Amino acid sequence: MSSFLRDFEVEAKNPSLEARQRWRSSVSIVKNRARRFRNIPDLEKQAENETKRHQIQEKLRVAFYVQKAALQFIGAAGRPEYKLTDEVKEAGFSVEPDELASMVRNHDTRGLAKNGGVEELAKKVSVSLTEGVSSSDLPIREKIFGENRYAEKPPRSFLMFVWEALQDITLIILMVCAVVSIGVGIATEGFPKGMYDGTGILLSILLVVMVTAISDYKQSLQFIDLDREKKKIIVQVTRDGTRQEISIHDLVVGDVVHLSIGDQVPADGVFISGYNLEIDESSLSGESEPSHVNKEKPFLLSGTKVQNGSAKMLVTTVGMRTEWGKLMETLIDGGEDETPLQVKLNGVATIIGKIGLSFAVLTFVVLCVRFVLEKATAGSFTNWSSEDAMTLLDYFAISVTIIVVAVPEGLPLAVTLSLAFAMKKLMSDRALVRHLAACETMGSATCICTDKTGTLTTNHMVVNKVYLCDKVHERQEGSKESFQLELPEEVQSILLQGIFQNTGSEVVKDKDGKTQILGSPTERAILEFGLLLGGDFGEQRKEHKILKIEPFNSDKKKMSVLIALPGGGARAFCKGASEIVLKMCENVVDSNGETVPLTEERIADISDVIEGFASEALRTLCLVYKDLDEAPSGDLPDGGYTMVAVVGIKDPVRPGVREAVQTCQAAGITVRMVTGDNISTAKAIAKECGIYTEGGLAIEGSQFRDLPPHEMRAIIPKIQVMARSLPLDKHTLVSNLRKIGEVVAVTGDGTNDAPALHEADIGLAMGIAGTEVAKENADVIIMDDNFKTIVNVARWGRAVYINIQKFVQFQLTVNVVALIINFVSACITGSAPLTAVQLLWVNMIMDTLGALALATEPPNEGLMKRPPIARTASFITKTMWRNIAGQSVYQLIVLGTLNFAGKSLLDLNGPDSTAVLNTVIFNSFVFCQVFNEVNSREIEKINVFKGMFNSWVFTGVMVVTVVFQVIIVEFLGAFASTVPLSWQHWLLSILIGSLSMIVAVILKCIPVESSQHHDGYDLLPSGPSSSNSA
């Protein structure tokens, strides 16, 4: 079948427009276009939205580069006058919302100056820049200035899904047939007998429509929940005098927002204070060059990203008044890109649909020809009655119903159902899937490049050891003071200055008055160390004015600050990766607290200390300072520092990580650690996690990036640990792994990780430590930053693929049997054993209910004991064809025998013998599908019952199917053309169905794929070479 599906192939990530157009144009047979393509983006609408987006970006570009210049020459007379409305005055504000929006949007510095600058502007919106907004003011601010929410597409009601389900062409034709049947039936057979057949079809259609609509509606609610989760962004603000975290949607005009590297600017606003603030405005204006924001250029626009530096801003405009809000409006109808599996199954549905349509037409032609010949033979060709019209109408209804059954509309929709179910489950397991295709692709992952900090480790850091004044001091657990350093006063003063001044974090009091440290785990550990030494963050900040800050940068692996000294001059502090910062030093503080030259001998001693800390899996940082006569105009100095301390920070390995790594290795997934830490620390942690094994390679980023391309390619399969790596090294590693055929998942948390996340097959951003930039470029957000969660995503990715295979195997078997039995019977006997109502019920069993039962099965243990699913693998495998063919042959033999010799075999006599036989055939056929649905739970393994009752959906569908079958046969005979059966016939039907399970066991003992065995999956060799063997 692969050769027929060439037009139905798209890339998992960023599919080309050509491929997307090609498969859409190849889908020729669709029963219900509205439903089939509901979750597939409309390319024309996307193009329209793209045009709108470009227009808004162009408008903004004009605002940035033309209006800013023009406004310098426009006097006050040229500006629109905004009169305060009574509502604004009564609320206690002195500026109109539209004036604020216009001023920031147009970068109107004169307008800001006219309003008295940011300090006066804050007074006009009734807020203190130090205390922030009062919580009691929130409702009135939202009423006057609006909420920070963007226009959203209203959710679809249940009735809309009912209407959509009714748009199925075949169901519409059947409804017309049913109405005609009722009219003709009442005229010929009288009321109520004449309306049974038509009413039965209408009731069946109603049942199909309701079940379909309920399933689709529940699925849409899952996507709404996921979409809501995707839009959650946490921002830091000062409110009620304390720094706190709030949702972006709770932001109001007047809020004082704290921005740092990687943050998304949450609303339009004005710069209050900050250092080296660089803003990436490409998402708004399309310009790639970062914009420098400061007191002279104070405007910040919603949706832009902080590329460097840190700042505080005053929120002036929120929600749909911002340009970002208008831009977001164009994305409402964007839709989620189709996944490779959805596209492939659209292809399968199209091919099978064409076959089914041919059979349906052929069946109708054969039935009509036989009927006409029989009339001609009987000499009644010229006499046509309403009964003849009813017979032809029945033939037409049966043919249309064959199309209903034969066109497997549910195949591509089952993928969406399975993905929605998996995504919902993963969300409860702390993984947020941003792109549907990522869930599929994760099932094919052969390699995971993971960060160390926070992913493999707990991210609960504490300073465990410190090297100070030629001595190593260790944390004393349980004692009153964790550290007893007894330092000279001058050394302690400089150390505390370095800790409290050179930090991007803050020590604040929460609402209960308890001390709280806000910031990254590393910063929190060092600040906690400073507090243990008796330091006071607030006092330190008041004593010294900060002149310049160079925030931590993953390329430089250090951060620096410059402060003014009370007696004149300045002092620079720097901290960062020990071996890097140590090279910047010329002096060191000795055991007497004196500054002495840093000799080669001392460098060797300190390097040994760093190596000793690292080998104990401690993260090492060096704290240094330098006194200056005056503040430098450019960058802070890169040399001449005095080393004060080396701190060793303990970050324990997360519980269960070693087992999770072993699970990956057993599943043919190679785990590689990529970290910015010292190589000794990295190796120690990697060994503890089971990542670094015998024969594996640990390499430093600097060594890796200097390798020539051919050498790099040669060693990449052996690399298990990369230490002291830059984001560019991670990108290079990912790129090269993909070139050698690996399917790569990569984790990232920083702004600079965005290229690697974008390049990888699956980008995994950290939910706690990750920046908004990293999250935006990721396919999956790991909300608890835990490696075990990543393995869970891989497990569900495999489950989705296998579940769809199960469903396809089940549905194709029903397709084949229903088509052939009706066609052959029509050719030989001139009638179809399965009526329109019965076929509609069978269609619901195999389509909506079958998808619910099989496509939502939770992952089993065996999934992670087999190799990853190769991207080039045929979706319908030889094993599946074996099962489909075997079950189809069995069902056709049994049902064919009943159809042609059933009366004699079952000793059926009397006027109702045909009705009883057809009911037994229908009942046996349905029970064959019920038991085959159980068989389909395992494509390869014999034990199909394992874990069956863990899936309440599967169990529920089985129970509902059997109960409805009993009701249809025993109580709805007038509508479904059935008659009540004796217990012997019921037993026979169940026995025929259950024998399919024995057939399945026999089939699974027939080898068709050499790599697997019917009793389970062969375990892959663990260790570094496992992915290569896969």
Q: Which residues are known to be catalytic?
A: 451
Give one DSSP letter per residue of 667-711, joined into a string: TT-EEEEE-SS-HHHHHHHHHHHT-S-TT-EEEEHHHHHTS-HHH
Locate 201 and state its tokens. 């079809």
Query: Omega of the bond prior to 290 within 30 degrees of 0, cis?
Result: no
The dihedral over CA atoms of 945, 947, 952, 956, expressed in degrees to the nearest 10, equals: 0
DSSP secondary structure string for all residues of 92-143: T--S-HHHHHHHHHTT-HHHHHHTTHHHHHHHHTT-BTTTBB-GGGHHHHHH
DSSP class per residue in 3-54: GGGTTS---SSS--HHHHHHHHHH----S-HHHHTTTS--HHHHHHHHHHHH
Is there a contact between 820 and 827 (Cβ–Cβ < 8 Å)?
no
d(CA 402, CA 414): 20
Q: Is 406 helix (H, G, I), strand (E, B) or coil?
A: helix
User: What is the SS3 assignment for 356-404?
Assistant: HHHHHHHHHHHHHHHHHHHHHHCCCCCCCCHHHHHHHHHHHHHHHHHHH
DSSP string, 703-750: HHHTS-HHHHHHHGGGEEEEES--HHHHHHHHHHHHHTT--EEEEE-S
Measured CA to CA, the distance from residue 61 to residue 291 in angstroms comes to 13
User: Residue 64: which H helix or E strand, with range?
Assistant: none
For residue 63, give the 3-state DSSP assignment: helix
Cβ atoms of 424 and 796 within 8 Å: the answer is no
Q: How many CB atoms are closer than 10 A to CB 629? A: 7
DSSP state of 250: G
> What is d(CA 694, CA 1022) in angstroms, rounded to the nearest whole number?
12
Token duo for residue 491: 């050394």
What gap in Å lies between CA 440 and CA 341, rounded to an integer? Answer: 8
Q: How far apart are CA 361 and CA 173, in angstroms?
A: 15
Cα separation, 625 vs 488, in Å, equals 17
Helix (H) or strand (E) holding 248: none
Please give the DSSP secondary-structure letter assigned to residue 266: -
Buried b (16+ CB within 10 A) or exposed e, 592-626: eeebeebeeebeeebeebbbbbbeebbbbbbbbbb
Amino acid at 506: E
Q: Within 10 Å of residue 379's Cβ, how many Cβ atoms?
A: 8
* DSSP letter string, 764-823: EEETTT--HHHHHT-SEEETT--HHHHHHHHHHHHHHHHHHHHHHHHHHHHHHHHHHHHH
Buried b (16+ CB within 10 A) or exposed e, 429-440: bbbbbbbbbbbb
619: Cβ–Cβ under 8 A, 6 or more apart, which residues?
A: 453, 461, 522, 648, 649, 650, 651, 677, 678, 681
Cα distance between residue 292 and residue 269, in whole Å: 15
The DSSP secondary-structure symbol of 67 reads I
Pairing, β 506-509 against β 515-518: antiparallel
Please state, in angstroms and rounded to a whole number, the distance separating the CA atoms of residues 265 and 183: 66
